[in-house]
Amino acid sequence: MALRKEQIVAHKPSRRDATLLGLVVFGALMAMEIMELVIGVRITPGALPLLVLLVVPGAGVIVWFFMHLPAVWGGEE
């Protein structure tokens, strides 16, 4: 029990790193959103494939980093 708790702490990123990760992910998502808008307004018709190329990694980033998908099969975090 005690050992396990230490392991959790050891695997946990420092709070500073975690905060930084959040900001980086948010920045990437903002960039994605603005690129989407430019594509959507400028490229008509034919925006769909480009939007898919942007949206899928965008959603993936949220699922991977914000929702901690890897924690499902890995241990903690």
Partner 1 sequence: MTTEHAVEHGIHSPEMRVKINRIGLWLFILSDAFFFVALISSRFYLHGTYRPDDLNQALGLGVSIVLLLSSLTVYRAEVAASYGDRAATQRNILFTIGLGLLFAVGVGYEWYEAFSHFPPSTGFGTIFFTLTGVHATHVFSGLIVLGFLWWLNRRGKYSSEETYWPVEGAAKYWHFVDVAWVLIYPTLYLVS
Tokens read off for 67: 């929702």
Q: If binding is defined by CB under 8 A, does position 67 make contact with partner 1?
A: yes
Q: CA-to-CA distance for 53 and 44, rounded, in angstroms?
A: 16
User: From the CB of 35, what's the least distance to partner 1, in Å?
Assistant: 11
Whole-angstrom distance, CA of residue 66 vs CA of residue 1: 28
Instruction: Report the interface residues with partner 1, using CB under 8 A.
Output: 4, 8, 12, 15, 18-19, 22-23, 25-26, 29-30, 33-34, 36-37, 39-41, 44-45, 47-48, 51, 54-55, 58-59, 62-63, 66-68, 71-72
